[in-house]
Amino acid sequence: MDLTDSPATLDFIREIVASDRKSGKHATVVTRFPPEPNGYLHIGHAKSICLNFGIAAQFGGRCHLRYDDTNPTKEEQEYIESIERDVRWLGFDWGTHLYFASDYFERMYVWGEKLIEKGRAYVCDCSAEEVRQRRGTLTEPGRACEHRDRPAAQSLDLFRRMRAGEFPDGARTLRARIDMGSGNINMRDPVIYRILHAPHPHAGAAWCIYPMYDYAHPLEDAIEGITHSICTLEFEDHRPFYDWVIDECELPEPHPRQIEFARLNLTYTVMSKRKLLQLVQEGVVSGWDDPRMPTISGLRRRGFTPEAIRDFADRIGVAKRDSVVDVQLLEHCLREDLNRRAPRKFAVLRPLKLVIENYPEGQVEEFEVSNNPEDPAAGTRSVPFSRVLWIEHDDFRETPPPKYFRLSPGNEVRLRSAYLVRCTGVVKDAAGHVVEVRAAYDPATRGGATPDGRKVKATMHWLSADHAVPAEVRLYDRLLTKPDAGDVEEGQDWKSNINPDSLEVLDNCWVEASLAGAASEERFQFERLGYFCVDPDSAAGKLVFNRTVTLRDAWAKIEQKQG
């Protein structure tokens, strides 16, 4: 099927692209993902990456990765490297099309001179504050300053001297000369160049004037032959200026077309790089890749798969209206993927000793356990069983509450794939805490079978204490306590919603010996507990796991209810 020809499957952006292809407006569809290297990419960027690279792939075109690096004081090499790593990890490839806006600075400057010569730009001596005061409001027009009408030759001379470094930061700007009375504030002679004596992470010390984003971006797109420049809704009011720049700089047809879509917002999640940087700088999290962060590197460390993130991006689609997506949908996409693929393992997070009194000391049996019931090709593994086991603390109650079917004095349960055991007693410490549970096994129930048809209501996982390997497990909760980060008491800022208990470290856990060689980022389902992945902090002798997500899928329930 030619996807480009079936409008029923197309969102509004793909419809535009498909119709431009049909009309022959462009030979090749060219999109771009244009991050500013001033932070790590987050799940919102993933939406934009999937959209831009996805459209290019679908229509047989290409997508550029371009650094929008016009603001040198906030940009860093570390961010540049993280962006490339993250886009690749998500599964996309820009081929040879990696660009830096700063590589176009010379051409942007020449266009600046050209605009001055055409009477379309002027050097303004007003301070930032004066520019602001004269800009007007939504209901009042702006007021021109005396510099607006200075001769082009004078502006040209001043612009050249700005570049030569004759003036201090903020002393002058170059402004587009459009219309101080425009109903659109963005058209009231916006600043297009500012003086900033600061070195640039990519361009070095070559410049002390820098182009403003709104001037630079359309030029970057036009230089690269971008056909569809996809951005978020807040740029809708900037589109007339985008078009103005390309027209006035007399760039060849066809011009790139700016198309806006609604940015991704997620419940319980802050998405702005500025706020994420605050979390990092103030030590609320351990870094940009802390598994609680909504950054791509944080999600990766948490155990998310690129497939789940791409599936999520597909499901949310693109729209023209802002909305907030339930973070449980993202987790649902992840569970679906991991359920299919993650090998099952036994792990005990809060261990309690279980001694099988009638099992011979020193005896070891191996039981075959399925690696993934969802995937027959995944096969089985053997898990050793012996007299002393670890079980979950929570799987035993000395005084069971109603409907508690797991282990309690006198009660019988199944140890998964091994035997049925009946609790015979407990051992307590001086303080009266249960430190050991005693039980007897029924040799006739080998493999967990019940030849006499008797029923037990609970099946529990277990580990042989002599064979298990130690591990640290990090449990994560939401970083925010409220679905809307901005929902705060008067006088408080968004950080008052940070959940103080978003990380719990369990450093006395046990896992199957088969996990001993697991590599960083490998993902597993710990039976009955959730999905977990190996953290890069793992070292020889101490495995560290992150809980990726629990097994309970709230989203699936919501979907069911909605029928």
Query: Residue type at 17?
Result: V
34 binds ligand ATP (CB under 6 A): yes
Instruction: Choose one: 28-36, 157-165, 185-193, 416-424; the region binding ligand ATP (CB under 6 A).
Output: 28-36
| 347 bridge partner residues | 511
Question: Closer to ligand ATP at the Cβ: 35 or 298?
Answer: 35
Instruction: Choose one: 39-47, 435-443, 476-484, 552-560; the region binding ligand ATP (CB under 6 A).
Output: 39-47
264 binds ligand ATP (CB under 6 A): yes
Of 120, 163, 172, 273, the active-site residue reads 273
What whole-number distance in Å separates Cα of residue 519 and Cα of residue 437? Answer: 34
Nearest approach, Cβ of residue 229 and ligand ATP (Å):
9
Per-residue interface string for the shown chain with ligand ATP, residues 449-488, x marking contact by CB under 6 A:
----------------------------------------
Instruction: Choose one: 42-50, 387-395, 417-425, 520-528; the region binding ligand ATP (CB under 6 A).
Output: 42-50
Residue of 40, 44, 115, 214 interacting with ligand ATP (CB under 6 A): 44
Q: Interface residues for ligand ATP in 134-193 (CB under 6 A)?
A: none
280 binds ligand ATP (CB under 6 A): no
Of 263, 353, 446, 478, the active-site residue reads 263
45 binds ligand ATP (CB under 6 A): yes
Radius of gyration (C-alpha) of the chain in whole angstroms: 31
CB burial readout 223-237, b (16+ within 10 A) else e? bbebbbbbbeeebee
Nearest approach, Cβ of residue 529 and ligand ATP (Å):
32
298 binds ligand ATP (CB under 6 A): no
464, containing H or E segment: strand 463-464
Distance from the Cα of residue 358 to its chain's centroid: 52
Q: Are 43 and 90 in contact (CB under 8 A)?
A: no
What whole-number distance in Å separates Cα of residue 104 and Cα of residue 131? Answer: 27
50 binds ligand ATP (CB under 6 A): no
Residue of 4, 31, 48, 417 interacting with ligand ATP (CB under 6 A): 48
DSSP readout, 302-357? HT--HHHHHHHHHHH---SS---B-HHHHHHHHHHHHHHHPPEE-EESSEEEEEET
Q: Is 263 a catalytic residue?
A: yes
Give residue 163's region: left, alpha or beta (phi > 0; psi -120 to 50).
alpha
Nearest approach, Cβ of residue 536 and ligand ATP (Å):
25
Nearest approach, Cβ of residue 481 and ligand ATP (Å):
21
Question: Closer to ligand ATP at the Cβ: 152 or 327?
Answer: 327
Question: Closer to ligand ATP at the Cβ: 82 or 328?
Answer: 82
Question: Closer to ligand ATP at the Cβ: 143 or 274?
Answer: 274
Angle, alpha carbons 325-328-331 (nearest 5°): 115
What whole-number distance in Å separates Cα of residue 94 and Cα of residue 86? Answer: 12
83: which 2 tokens? 């962006």
Question: Closer to ligand ATP at the Cβ: 48 or 464?
Answer: 48
35 binds ligand ATP (CB under 6 A): yes
Residues 6+ apart with CB under 8 A from 17: 4, 29, 55, 59, 227, 228
Question: Closer to ligand ATP at the Cβ: 41 or 121?
Answer: 41
Nearest approach, Cβ of residue 54 and ligand ATP (Å):
13
Distance from the Cα of residue 146 to its chain's centroid: 48
Question: Closer to ligand ATP at the Cβ: 49 or 116?
Answer: 49
Pairing of strands 469-476, 463-464: unpaired
Q: Are 196 and 226 in contact (CB under 8 A)?
A: no
Q: Interface residues for ligand ATP in 56-115 (CB under 6 A)?
A: 68
Question: Closer to ligand ATP at the Cβ: 47 or 414?
Answer: 47
Q: Are 479 and 453 in contact (CB under 8 A)?
A: no
Tell me which residue has its CB nearest to ligand ATP.
Answer: 44
Q: Interface residues for ligand ATP in 211-240 (CB under 6 A)?
A: 231-232
Which of 383, 400, 529 has its CA nearest to residue 457?
400
Give residue 265's region: left, alpha or beta (phi > 0; psi -120 to 50).
beta
263 binds ligand ATP (CB under 6 A): yes
Angle, alpha carbons 364-366-367 (nearest 5°): 135
Instruction: Choose one: 31-39, 97-105, 372-380, 443-451; the region binding ligand ATP (CB under 6 A).
Output: 31-39
Nearest approach, Cβ of residue 271 and ligand ATP (Å):
5
What whole-number distance in Å separates Cα of residue 551 and Cα of residue 196? Answer: 52
Q: Is 117 a catalytic residue?
A: no
Question: Could you give the 3-state DSSP secondary structure of residue 209?
Answer: strand
Per-residue interface string for the shown chain with ligand ATP, residues 338-367, x marking contact by CB under 6 A:
------------------------------
Catalytic residue IDs: 36, 263, 273
Binding site for ligand ATP (CB under 6 A): 34-36, 44-45, 47-48, 68, 231-232, 263-264, 271-273
